[in-house]
Homo-oligomer: A and B are copies of this chain.
Amino acid sequence: MTQETIAMSRHPVVDGATRVVGIVGHPIAQVRAPEVWTGLFHLHGLNMLCLPYHVVPADLPTFFAGMRRMQNLAGMIVTIPHKPASVDLVDKLTDRARIVRSVNFIGIRPDGSWLGDIVDGIGFVENLKTNGADPAGRRTLLVGTGGVGTAIAFALAEAGVSELVLYDRDSERSEGLAQRLAALGWPARAGAPDPAGFELVVNASPVGMRDDDPLPVDAARIAPGSIVADVIVHETELLRRAAAIGCRTIDGTGMMDHQLVAMAAHLGLGEHDFSAATAKRVAAAVRG
């Protein structure tokens, strides 16, 4: 694929037959999905685009009721703060969305009903694998069990980690999640944020977004040679410290792009290339 082709991808055509994938959030202006998805649709010659919908939490049920009447809606990406509330606003949930109690993508089935799925955990794990860090068989510490952390916990469990220790500042939250995972037969328990002895250390908390944040774990106790991953999309102090002692480090940048394939499958677009690599090239072209 030539650079010229990618450069065209910022330029969708809109006409009366255009179909829409929405992304609903509050706030919304910061989301990357409209550029990336619209670029990919254009690249594949699809008359579709991804459009931001700015909706406040109290308005979500009424907004969704209205969007259900839009016949040219193809699907809906759900982002902060609407993921937990969307669980009760769809007609059916995938197993993982039901277990995680969170929805970040709504597919529209042939009968018009809405199917809620959660694919950010999958995106995180796929990103690890792409970076040569398959979590299968690894003793794993996960810090942060909010919405994203919960999704990642289930995805890591499904990916076959040998041990999963969960920590959250809100200990009820991490303990509750550990119990739910254990009840499903996964090797999960709540524990301290001590990275000593773990082969995979994951930060799924917001700690590290700001430069003056403390470290989410004691970096001095990270085992040299382990894998340290963060959901935050820039290189955090945690990752810098880990890299300095020879750990493989993976930031959150690729996590969203690795969800596109799963979302595209819901859109019935499985035959097209929605790989993270192509998404990354499209995003670069759009920004360029």
6 pairs of A and B residues whose beta carbons are closest in the complex:
A66-B66, A11-B11, A59-B69, A54-B71, A16-B31, A63-B69
Q: Any chain B CB within 8 A of the CB of A17?
A: yes
Which of B14, B54, B63, B72 sits near A28, CB closer than 8 Å?
Answer: B72
Smallest Cβ distance from A80 to chain B, in angstroms? 12
With A11-B10, A11-B11 as known contacts, state yes or no: A16 contacts B52, CB within 8 Å.
yes
Chain B nearest CB, measured from A27 CB (Å): 8
Interface string of A56-90 (1 = CB under 8 A from B): 10011011111111111000000000000000000
24 A-B pairs in the complex with CB atoms less than 8 angstroms apart:
A11-B11, A11-B13, A12-B12, A14-B34, A14-B50, A14-B52, A15-B52, A16-B28, A16-B29, A16-B33, A28-B72, A49-B51, A51-B51, A54-B71, A55-B69, A55-B70, A55-B71, A59-B69, A62-B69, A63-B66, A64-B66, A65-B66, A66-B67, A66-B68
The distance in angstroms between the C-alpha atoms of A20 and B60, with both chains bound, is: 18
Query: Is the interface on chain A under 10, 10 to 19, 20 to 34, or 35 or more residues?
Result: 35 or more
On chain B, the residues within 8 Å of A60 by CB distance are: 69
Q: Is A267 on the interface with B (CB-CB < 8 A)? A: no
Q: How far is the CB of A37 from chain B (nearest CB, A)?
A: 9
Separation in Å of the A53 CB from the closest CB of chain B? 5
Q: Are B29 and A14 in contact (CB under 8 A)?
A: no
Contacts of A66 in B (CB 8 A): 62-69
Most buried by B among A28, A62, A65, A69: A69
**Does A2 make an interface contact (CB < 8 A)?**
no
A286 at the interface (CB under 8 A from B): yes
- Give the one of A12, A35, A52 with max B CB within 10 A: A52
Once A54-B71, A65-B62, A66-B64 are accepted as A-B contacts, the answer to whether A16 and B30 lie under 8 Å apart by CB is yes
Once bound together, how far apart are the Cα atoms of A15 and B50, in whole Å?
8
Copies per complex of this chain: 2
A72 lies within 8 A of B49 (CB): no
Bound Cα distance A11, B7 (Å) = 12
B residues within 8 A CB of A20? Answer: 51
Tell me if B65 and A70 are in contact (CB < 8 A). no
Q: Which residues of B contact A49 (CB under 8 A)?
A: 14, 51
Return the contact of A17 from the options B11, B52, B55, B62 (Cβ within 8 A).
B52
Q: Which residues of B contact A234 (CB under 8 A)?
A: none
- Tell me the nearest residue of chain B to A31, going by C-beta: B16
